[in-house]
């Protein structure tokens, strides 16, 4: 018997791997571009491996997100917020895959003239993937914490957890609240 509940959504745990690693890949890709011929082959391929983990993690996050979508809807998350998160995630997965391909090509060709453009493209794609990853995370946060996260405590109950929903919980706006926050 496991010492923890297995009915918790796994998506929130999975998403942190690709997003965390996506933070460092642009710097590593630019470093490879700058010193491409002076980098040991093992170190260069380690950067490709890190990007492969970003891509694999993004695919796993996409799959677990689809599995947990009904749970988010049942918790009161708006359909539009879920759609925005899902669409942003699809772009992140695509950018992560393109970055992996360009990075692998650049590392394979790094001793040749063609290696520089491939590594340059990989570095730019890695920056794009990072930016998109931040959008995905923000959209996911809006699902969990509501559209005014930061201005109040959870507007929507945490996916799989308890919460006050709209108007419930500490700091949430009560129904019929006459405050005009605009």
- Between the alpha carbon of residue 67 and those of residues 9, 11, 72, 141, the distances in Å are 9, 8, 10, 17
The token pair that represents 87 in the structure block: 């669409």
- Burial class from Cβ neighbours inside 10 Å (0-12, 13-18, 19+) for residue 8 reads middle
Q: Based on the structure, what is the number of domains in the chain?
A: 1
Q: Which two tokens stand for residue 107?
A: 């590392």
Predicted confidence at residue 13, as pLDDT, reads 86
Domain for residue 159, yes or no? Answer: no
Instruction: Tell me the C-alpha distance between 125 and 103, whole Å.
Output: 9
Residue 166 lies in a domain: no
Largest alpha-carbon pair distance within the chain?
67
- Does residue 182 lie within any of the structural domains? no
Element containing residue 51 per DSSP (H, E): helix 41-74
Residue 2 lies in a domain: no
Residues 27 and 153: their CA atoms lie apart, in Å, by 35
- Residue 132: inside a domain, yes or no? yes
Q: Which domain holds residue 138?
A: 11-145
| Predicted TM-score of the model (pTM) | 0.77
Summarised one tens digit per residue, pLDDT across range 137-158 is 999 988 888 766 555 444 444 4
Q: Which residues pair with 152 in a beta bridge?
A: 149
pLDDT in tens, 73-84: 888 888 888 999
CATH number of residue 134's parent domain: 1.20.120
Q: In the prediction, which pLDDT does 48 show?
A: 97
Which single residue is written with the structure tokens 């491939």?
118
pLDDT by 10s per residue, the chain, length 182: 445 555 667 888 899 999 999 999 999 999 999 987 788 889 999 999 999 999 999 999 999 998 888 888 888 888 888 999 999 999 999 999 999 999 999 999 988 888 899 999 999 999 999 999 999 999 998 888 876 655 544 444 444 444 444 443 333 344 444 444 44
- Please check whether residue 181 lies inside any domain of the structure: no
Q: What is the CA radius of gyration of the chain?
A: 20
């Amino acid at each position: 018997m496991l010492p923890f509940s297995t009915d918790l959504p796994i998506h929130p745990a999975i998403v942190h791997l690709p997003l965390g690693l996506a933070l460092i890949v642009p710097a590593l890709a630019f470093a490879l571009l700058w010193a491409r011929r002076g980098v040991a082959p093992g170190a260069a391929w380690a950067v490709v491996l890190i990007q492969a983990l970003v891509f694999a993690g993004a695919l796993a996050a996409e799959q677990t997100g689809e599995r947990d979508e009904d749970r988010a809807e049942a918790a009161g998350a708006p359909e539009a917020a879920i759609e925005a998160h899902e669409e942003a995630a699809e772009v992140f997965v695509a950018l992560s895959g393109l970055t992996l391909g360009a990075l692998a090509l650049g590392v394979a060709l790094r001793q040749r003239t063609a290696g520089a453009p491939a590594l340059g493209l990989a570095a730019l794609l890695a920056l794009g993937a990072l930016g998109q990853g931040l959008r995905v995370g923000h959209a996911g946060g809006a699902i969990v914490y509501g559209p005014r996260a930061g201005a109040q405590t959870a507007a929507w109950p945490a996916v799989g957890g308890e919460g006050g929903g709209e108007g419930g919980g500490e700091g949430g706006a009560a129904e019929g609240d006459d405050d005009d926050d605009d």
